[in-house]
């Protein structure tokens, strides 16, 4: 049990290391991408080129993925300091944001469906 | 009371998760319920926002590792992604364009001032990239971050009803939809529909970020 927990923590440490390296690359080259996204690409590349690596990160990754919403919560709580924005005419901005987001959701999903179906038909 | 914020966040999260397992309505996603409860508690207790953010820094710090972890479903589903490269790319390009254009046209229709419009346009893109884009096209980065959150939360709360109603339930459609519209929040929502949807969502999120970085300045230059 203790050994298991230690193993998961160490694996999360390995994931964190990717984020750290990603951040260094981002700062070094002054890229418009976050260290975390670069870290993710690095992690993916490493898994692809070195197969046994999966064993060293599998448990940690699964634990963290099962609790993803926890890690976003502080960021969403951060919206509270902008409450004034949502008063008065600011409500319009929120409405536009929501409408536009739902248009993206449906539009991109629908485009995918059309292309996917057309390709399946072409293949017969 | 140092550490109150961390304890609060962990406890509220555990209950929010239990609650969602019991009542799985899209509106009760743990991110949304925990956020509402935590903000309410902070308001009522008059606990300082700055102190809260200091308290939760271990969680914020691990967010980076959590996003890195999204590379794992991506790796396990790489064959699925390879097979569906064309539909994924089409969906992502359509999604990015629709996001910027619909935001621009709606803002125009409602007569929103430019500074605000430019902060709102990159809302569907992952936060750091959205802030960068806003800065590039003449918006306010911190404001852009707020719209990114509004887009993410509203999409995972309302989106499932829309997708169900329109019968868009293939993992490919779910993954691309959530990844293009609601960045990492959408990707974590996609995980509820399985590894395949989550992997496709991670890819869409990343491609959308790259695509929007190029497309947003072009659209602004062309149409203003």
Higher pLDDT, B11 or B75: B11
Residue-wise DSSP of B146-171: HHHHHHHHHHHHHHHHHHHHTT--SH
Inspect the interface and report whether the beta carbons of A33 and B129 lie closer than 8 Å: yes
User: Which range, A48-62, A76-90, B130-144, has the best average confidence (pLDDT)?
Assistant: A48-62
**What DSSP state is assigned to residue B77?**
T
- From B138's Cα to the closest Cα of chain A, the distance in A is 15
A49: exposed, middle or buried (Cβ count in 10 Å: 0-12, 13-18, 19+): exposed
Note the ipTM here. Answer: 0.86
Q: What is the pLDDT of residue A75?
A: 81
Q: What is the pLDDT of residue A88?
A: 74
Residue B156 sits at the vertex; the CA angle it makes with B23 and B113, to the nearest 5 degrees, is 140
Residue B83 sits at the vertex; the CA angle it makes with B82 and B88, to the nearest 5 degrees, is 80
Residue ranges of alpha helices (H) inside B56-193 are 57-69, 71-76, 78-83, 85-110, 114-120, 127-137, 141-165, 171-190
Q: What is the pLDDT of residue B81?
A: 83
- Of residues B16, B94, B198, nearest to A107 (C-beta): B94
- From B18's Cα to the closest Cα of chain A, the distance in A is 12
Provide mean pLDDT across the span A30-39: 79
Inspect the interface and report whether the beta carbons of B168 and A110 lie closer than 8 Å: yes
For residue A17, give the chain B residue with the closest CA: B65
pLDDT at B179 over 80: yes
Q: How far apart are CA A100 and CA A8, in angstroms?
A: 40
Q: What is the mean pLDDT of chain B?
A: 89
Report the half-sphere exposure of A50 (CA within 13 A, side-chain side): 7
Nearest to B201 by CA among B165, B172, B164: B172
Provide mean pLDDT across the span A41-52: 92
Length of chain B (residues): 224
Mutate to test the interface with A, among B8, B69, B82 (most CBs of A within 10 A): B69
Q: How far apart are CA B35 and CA B13, in angstroms?
A: 9
Inspect the interface and report whether the beta carbons of B90 and A41 lie closer than 8 Å: no
Inspect the interface and report whether the beta carbons of A71 and B59 lie closer than 8 Å: yes
3 state DSSP class of A36: helix
Q: How far apart are CA B37 and CA B17, in angstroms?
A: 13
Tell me how many residue pairs between chain A and chain B have CB atoms under 8 A apart. Answer: 290
Q: For residue range B42-54, list pLDDT tens digits in order.
A: 999 999 889 999 9
- From B10's Cα to the closest Cα of chain A, the distance in A is 8
Nearest to B199 by CA among A93, A96, A47, A30: A47
3 state DSSP class of B70: coil
pLDDT over 70 for what percent of chain A? Answer: 98
B152, B184 contact by CB (below 8 A): yes
Contacts of A12 in chain B (CB under 8 A): 62, 65
Q: What is the pLDDT of residue A19?
A: 93
Q: What is the pLDDT of residue A28?
A: 92
pLDDT at B212 over 80: yes
Q: For residue range A88-108, list pLDDT tens digits in order.
A: 778 899 999 999 999 999 999
Q: How far apart are CA A94 and CA A108, in angstroms?
A: 21
pLDDT at A113 over 80: yes
pLDDT band at A3 (very low <50, low <70, confident <90, very high): confident
Dihedral sign of CA atoms B94, B167, B75, B180 in order = positive
Q: What is the pLDDT of residue B113?
A: 85
Radius of gyration over every alpha carbon of chain A, rounded to an integer in angstroms: 21
Inspect the interface and report whether the beta carbons of A22 and B68 lie closer than 8 Å: yes
Provide mean pLDDT across the span A20-33: 86
Q: Residues of B numbered 48-87 whose beta carbons fall under 8 angstroms of chain A's beta carbons: which are they?
A: 49, 52-53, 56, 59-75, 78, 84, 86-87
pLDDT at B1 over 80: no
pLDDT at A48 over 80: yes
């Amino acid at each position: 049990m203790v050994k298991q927990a230690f193993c998961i923590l160490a694996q999360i440490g390995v994931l964190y290391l990717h984020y750290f390296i990603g951040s260094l690359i981002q700062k070094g080259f002054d890229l418009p991408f976050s260290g975390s996204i670069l870290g993710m690409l690095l992690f993916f590349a490493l898994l692809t080129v070195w197969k046994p690596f999966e064993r060293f990160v599998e448990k940690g990754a699964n634990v963290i993925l099962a609790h993803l919403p926890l890690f976003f919560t502080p960021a969403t709580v951060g919206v509270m300091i902008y409450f004034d924005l949502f008063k008065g005419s600011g409500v319009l901005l929120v409405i536009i944001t929501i409408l536009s987001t739902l248009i993206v959701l449906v539009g991109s999903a629908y485009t995918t469906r059309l292309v996917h179906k057309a390709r399946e038909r072409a293949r017969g | 009371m140092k550490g109150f914020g961390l304890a609060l966040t962990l406890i509220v999260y555990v209950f929010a998760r239990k609650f969602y397992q019991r009542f799985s309505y899209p509106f009760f996603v743990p991110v949304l319920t925990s956020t509402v409860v935590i903000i309410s508690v902070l308001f009522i207790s008059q606990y300082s926002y700055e102190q809260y953010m200091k308290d939760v820094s271990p969680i914020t710090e691990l967010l980076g590792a959590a996003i890195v972890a999204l590379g794992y479903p991506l790796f396990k589903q790489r064959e699925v992604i390879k097979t569906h490269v064309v539909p994924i790319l089409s969906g992502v390009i359509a999604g990015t364009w629709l996001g910027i254009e619909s935001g621009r046209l709606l803002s125009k229709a409602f007569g929103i001032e430019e500074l605000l419009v430019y902060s709102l346009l990159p809302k569907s893109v992952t936060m750091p990239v959205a802030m960068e884009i806003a800065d590039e096209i003449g918006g306010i980065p911190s404001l852009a971050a707020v719209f990114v959150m509004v887009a993410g939360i509203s999409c995972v709360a309302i989106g499932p009803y829309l997708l169900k109603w329109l019968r868009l339930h293939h993992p490919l459609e779910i993954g691309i939809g959530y990844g293009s519209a609601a960045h990492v929040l959408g990707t974590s929502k996609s995980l509820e529909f399985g590894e395949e949807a989550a992997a496709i969502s991670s890819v869409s999120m990343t491609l959308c970020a790259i695509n929007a970085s190029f497309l947003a300045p072009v659209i602004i230059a062309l149409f203003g």
